[in-house]
Amino acid sequence: MFTGIVQALVPVAYMKLEGGVLRLGLSLGEMAHGLQGGASVAINGACLTVVDTSNNLTTFEVIEETRALTNLADLQQGTLVNVERSFRVGDEVGGHIVSGHVTGTAIVVAIETREGVRNVTFTGNPCWMKFIQHKGFVALDGASLTIASTDSLKNSFSVCLIPETIERTTLGRVVVGDRINVEVDSQTRATVETVERMLLSPEWLAKLRASA
């Protein structure tokens, strides 16, 4: 599990596709201290498993399903990625609880920049846009953010980035057309799906009409 607070912005040091599996290497520096094989690390919000930590390089394996669902397939050597190690019980949760299971990707469609602020607008898949709620949480490339606005007709939403987020995450460097990993808030998703199931239940609808 993660908190959505990006700990480092790190360039991709190594990439190689071997037998359908992408081997991804990052030089994590001090972040690699105590990191062992099998540990979980969020890379652009996608939870990956450490397979090797040698020669100052932490290596992960990215399977085809993950590459299809996330923007990790778009990476190149030198591309900056957001990195967060999994949190421990007792750590401060400065963002919101993030699983590292990416819901899908959103496309940057507009960027408005003015002094100290960057507003970024995305279009998303209608299948999960119903979980994007005004003032709710969303993780974008693993960064926990508050949703500033939504437009259901355009299947779009926007976030407002403060200078700290602009400086410390990939979101300060995206351009129109980029794909960003999205993980919707689990509590919002559970609430929406529960209500949908109840509305499909004839028994529950009968009780609702009877109480009206």
The per-residue pLDDT for range 59-70, each reduced to its tens digit, is 999 999 999 999
Q: What is the pLDDT of residues 157-204, one digit of tens each?
A: 999 999 999 999 999 999 999 999 999 998 888 888 888 888 888 887
Q: Are residues 181 and 122 in the same domain?
A: yes
Q: Are residues 76 and 22 in the same domain?
A: yes
Residue 80 reports pLDDT greater than 80: yes
Per the domain annotation, does 188 fall within a domain? yes
Separation CA 133–CA 209 (nearest Å)? 27
pTM over the 0.85 mark: yes
Residues 6+ apart with CB under 8 A from 7: 31, 83, 84, 85
C-alpha angle 64-122-78 in degrees, rounded to nearest 5 = 50
Q: What is the pLDDT of residues 37-62, one digit of tens each?
A: 899 999 999 999 999 998 889 999 99
User: Quick one: CA dihedral 38, 58, 101, 187, positive or negative?
Assistant: positive
Q: Are residues 114 and 187 in the same domain?
A: yes
The answer to whether 118 touches 112, Cβ cutoff 8 Å, is: yes
| 3-class SS of residue 196 | helix
| 3-class SS of residue 157 | strand
Per the domain annotation, does 92 fall within a domain? no
At 55 the pLDDT is 83
Q: Are residues 127 and 169 in the same domain?
A: yes
Q: Are residues 20 and 75 in the same domain?
A: yes
Residue 97 reports pLDDT greater than 90: no
Range of the structural domain that residue 160 is part of: 108-196
Q: What is the pLDDT of residues 28-39, one digit of tens each?
A: 988 888 888 899
Phi, psi of 93 (to 5 degrees): -100, 95
What is the share, in percent, of the chain residues with pLDDT greater than 70? 96
Average pLDDT estimate for 17-25: 92
CA 109 to chain centre: 18
Mean pLDDT, the chain, rounded, equals: 91
CATH classification of the domain holding 115: 2.40.30.20
Per the domain annotation, does 100 fall within a domain? no
Which of 6, 61, 4 has the alpha carbon at shortest distance from 31?
A: 6
At 34 the pLDDT is 87
Q: Are residues 187 and 122 in the same domain?
A: yes
At 94 the pLDDT is 59
Q: Are residues 128 and 79 in the same domain?
A: no
Per the domain annotation, does 1 fall within a domain? no
Per the domain annotation, does 177 fall within a domain? yes
Per the domain annotation, does 209 fall within a domain? no
Per the domain annotation, does 90 fall within a domain? no
Per the domain annotation, does 170 fall within a domain? yes
Average pLDDT estimate for 85-107: 81
Domains identified in the chain, total number? 2
Q: Are residues 117 and 187 in the same domain?
A: yes
The torsion defined by the Cα of 31, 169, 123 and 190, in degrees rounded to 10, comes to 50
